[in-house]
Amino acid sequence: MLPIDHEDRKEIGKTGEKVSAIGSGTWGIKDREKARKAL
């Protein structure tokens, strides 16, 4: 398993807000079963 760098965050545009560099891209899925299968 690869180590996770919790400090690796990316800024959203020029907002100053930073988020995790890696995401699953499933936030927009409304159907819980489809989200579960995607993960």
Q: Is residue 15 part of a domain?
A: yes
Q: Where are the beta strands (DSSP E) in the chain?
A: 9-11, 18-20
pLDDT of residue 12: 85
Q: Is residue 13 part of a domain?
A: yes
Over residues 7-34, the pLDDT tens digits come to 888 888 899 998 876 767 777 888 888 8
Q: What pTM does this model have? A: 0.37
Give the total residue count for the chain. 39
Q: Is residue 26 part of a domain?
A: yes
| Number of domains the chain is built from | 1
Alpha helices in 1-39 (DSSP H): 32-38
For residue 23, what are the domain limits?
9-38
